[in-house]
Structures are given as C-alpha cells and as structure tokens.
Structure 1
Amino acid sequence: MTVIVRDLRPDVRADTEGFARVRRLALPFILFTPESIAYDAAHMHPDAHYRPLVAEEDGEIIGTAQVHLAHESREPGQGNLNVYVHPGRTRRGAGSLLVRAAEEYLASVGATRLFAWVLDEPGNRAFAERHGYRSSRSAHFLRLDLANGTLPPLQDPPPGVELRTGADFADDPRPLFELDAETMSDEPSDIAYEFTDYEAWLEETWRHPLLSPELTSVAVVDGRPAAFSAARTDGGTRYGTVMTGTARAFRGRGLAKLAKNHSLHRARTAGYTEAFTGNDAGNDPMIAINKWFGYEICGTEVRHVRELG
C-alpha cells in the first residue's frame, strides 16, 4: 500500500468530502464541510498562494494539509501549514509526506518562517519536534452542550445600545469589516496581522458558506457597531463562534458578552445542539466569559515554529 501526496481537486466532490471527513475526525472542534473546503480553495487571496494538499492511500484520502502564506502579516515570509491525518490511518508516512511537500512549496513562494498548529498530545508534539519545529503559544478548543446545557438568561441591552444581527448589515457590511479588523489586530498571535483589504474580507469572511449572518450578533452604539459575535454553522447541528470582540472605545461594558449570549440563544432556538469556540490559552478574561456561558475545554493545540534556511 503506497501513500501519495497530491493537490486537492476542489471541483471533485469525492476530494472535498474526503478532506472534510479527515478534518472532522482529526479536529472535531472546527466546522468543515465539502462546500467550505471548495470555497476556500477558490476564494483565498492570490497573495496567500493557498494550496490544499491531500495524502491518498489506495484511493482513500487519509491526510490533509492547508498550506499558505500569511499575506496579511506586517512581516513578509510567514508561512502556515496545518497537517492532519485520519486517526485510524496514522503511521503510514502520510504526515511526513504532507509536511515535506508543504515545506517545499512554501519555500518556493518565499516563506522563511513556518507556523503549524499541533494537537497537544505526546505523539503529535514529538512528530513536530522530529521535523524541526519548536513549540510556541497554545490555544484551547471549547465546547458547549446547547441541547442539554443551561445558558445564562437573556439580558436587555443597556440604554443607548441596540442589538442587531449580521443580516441587518447585508447592504453595507463595511462597518463590520472595520470592527473585525480592529479586534483581530488585538488578538494574541505569533504573527502580527494588519487587515486592510475590504474586498478580500468580503470574499473570505462575509460570503463564506459557513458564516451565518442571521446568528451573528452585533451590539450597536449611536449607529456604530461596537461589539459582535460572528457565528458559523455547518448546515446540520453544529454552531461555532469564530470571533467575538469589542472595539477599543467600548471595552469594559460587557457588550461582547451581551452579543454572544443573544447569538447562543438564537442558535439553540434554531435547533443547533453543539457550540464550539476557541481561545488563546493566555486569554484568561475570554476563557472566563466562555466558562460563564457553560463552555468546557475539550482540546488544546500548540503553535509550532520552524525557521527555514
């Protein structure tokens, strides 16, 4: 049985289904669908040089890699490769083949430093170290049982604050882009990001097939979005918040918590049974907020870094 590595064919349903299946098994805390896999391949910014790879054994996709440059970084040459193998198909060489192909490709498009998320398990961390990666920051995955858990009661917005949904900004989402860009730039990260490309945000975020404008909540003050909780869904029973944040001028007023609570309640009413989110392991205030909602840590990833050359 021979394992080969090749490019994902985003227009072939068997490929996108295989990619999504491996990711769901290896990383069940993040939402993936065949449609989202195909969309990412078609709509990532050209400067990202995005190249999804698969490892295949006897016609079965057993490993995946998302490979791209961090084109929004203030420092050029930052590359990302995230490799995941089917848990029942490990020790066949798929992971090493994917890493090698990803590294060679990233080097060819100008990467000098590589970043990879690795599940915080002894075997995975040892794999990363054998390939020359050193550990850096870590992040937690959190899960909330929407079907059987108890959410905090809904609260009315304070005076001067209005709650809207992302769908209310369908005609002009630029204010949400500006809020997203400001909050993302303050997120803890190994890479310093600067989000200035509105058209790219529309393609990669706003029009993404997993985004749910109806479940995205926005706290508005004086007509300006002040805080938000952006929601994604998989079209089934799984819901995730991919970003919750507050503009700097409005922090300390509980607006992000208010927005997220309303989003979670609407998600439960809509029939979603599981909620997922993620936090940098050092972001104690946000971890405390999510535990207040009832989230529990269900997994941890460690960022690993390798310098090329």
Structure 2
Amino acid sequence: MHAACGGRARRRGRTSRANGRDGDDGHDPRRCQRGVVPVLLRRRRDHRHRRQPPGRGPGAPGAVGPPGRGPDRAVGRSRARRTPGPADRFHRTTHRMRHPVPAGGRTDATAHRRTHSCASDVAKAEHARGLRAGWSVLRERPALAWLVGGFVVSNLSLGLVQAATPVIVVQQLGHSTGSVGLIWSAAAVASLLAVAACRGAISRWGLWPVGALSATVAAGACLAVSQATTYSTYLVLVALLMAGEGGLTVVLRTLRSHLIPARVFGATLALTILLLLAPFPLAGLLVAAVPADRLGQALGVCAVVQALALAVTFARLRTLPGLRPAHP
C-alpha cells in the first residue's frame, strides 16, 4: 500500500517538475497512515461484507473468529463465498442433465441392481395384469370360452393318441418305429389339406357348420382309433383325427380374431395357448401310469369324453352370437 501511495506521489512530483515547479517527491507518511490507507481498508471490508449472504457477517449468530473477519476467513478461506446467480444455476442444471447422478447418491452397481429389481417387479405386475385381462375377455365372450373349453378336452385325447401311438404300433400291432414316423407324416398331410379346405368352407358356409363337421370327424376318428386292430386302419384313423383337429384349429383362430379386442389380444392369446397346452403333460402322465395292454381302453374313455365335450360345446355355440361371421 505504501508502495502504491509512493508511486502516486512520485508521479505527482514528476508532473510538478515537468510544469516547472520545484518541490519534494510528494510522499507524506502521515497522509498514507491517516488518510488514504484507512479509507481503502474500510472500502475493502465493506465491499466484502456486502458480498456475503444474509446472516454470514461478523456479528451474525454462529460466526467464529476475531471481529472484523467473516466466518469464511475464520475457517481459513481467503475470500467470502459468492452468492450464486441465475447463470450459475443454469450451468448447474445443464451439468446435472448431462451427467445424472444415481438417486440417493448410490453407486452405479447399486443403481443397476435397483433398476433391474424395479424392472422385474414391473414385469411381474404386467404379467399378472395381462392374465387378468385374458380371463376377463373369456368371461365376457362365452362363445370363445366354450370353444376353448371343448378344445382343451379334445387336446387331452389328442395328446394321449400322440403319446400312446409308438407303444401301440410297436407292441400291439407288431411294426417298427419307422412305421410310427409314417403315421405322423400321413397325419401331417391330412391336417394341411384340412386347413386349406376350411378357408373356403368358412367363407361359404360360416364358422358353426365347419366347426361342427370338424368336431364330428375328430371325435369319431378318436373313438375308432381305440378299436383299431391293423396298422393300415390305425394310420387312416389317425390321419382323419388330425384332419378334424386341423379344422377345429382354423375355427378357433378365426373366432379369436373376431372376438378378442386388439388392446388385449396378446394377453388373451397367451392365456388361451396356455389352456390348450395344459392337457398334453397330463396325457404323457397317463401313458406312463397305464399299462401297455390297457392303453386302448384308456384311449376309448378319453374319446368318449371328447365326443361329449365337443357335442355340448357346439350345441351351446349354436345359440350364442360369435360364430356368425361369414369371413375369417
């Protein structure tokens, strides 16, 4: 500070000498100590106090340190803390948007586990909500519910035939395992032909006549399969059974596309598929539990149950709206 004051005095002395006036160098120690220096110190202190936030001055409650110093100087800082302005808040907000911090200050691994846990909980809730939506659709549309129920019973007989055919062909009819493959090849061709024929038949006669005819063929073929004694007869009857099942599948899928709303189609479709596949594990358990010489009788019982279920189903569907559309 003395240097600054002396510098100004020397400049004034040079100016006086340049103007032709004699004088000293202008340095007055008493003036520096009594006038200029205290004013500069006071201005600096007042400026620092004005920049402090409210309640942070030397006389504020909780302030520490000697008088004349703010709390920031007391804890070892050289300057008072500046109050953030709009520009600072804008930059802080943009930084947080570009570099988000995990909730609660968690580490990346913790946040990752929490995100996966929340995602799994949401998936479970969505799955439960989807199943409830599927059940509600089946309750609101009895035509679809009746057809699905009849198809479930029919699939029990179909699964039993599929599981018991190798045992019946090899042990009772005396043929090789290659003959079993030939049976299912013929059944697949018959099923494809039935699916192709049902397209035009439904467009011409409607869903109910085609469905009733397919159910009759499937039930009659299943009853006859349980009584077959030759390989050729067994092959033809299994092919007829699969052709009837193919026609029923076309009817079911066409009815589903007409009755299920688009917003819950996925949930209802998943539920119906689960119901239709449920009898197949049960059929495998029956084949494993029943002796080989009693498989024909078990198949006959299942065929009778299938015939009754399909008869009741299509008798009920005749009085319900839903099988009336002329186009799939």
Q: TM-score, normalised by structure 1?
A: 0.22
Greater strand share, structure number: 1
TM-score by length of 2: 0.21
The structure with more helix, counted as a fraction of residues: 2
Task: Kindly name which structure, 1 or 2, has the bigger radius of gyration based on alpha carbons.
Answer: 2
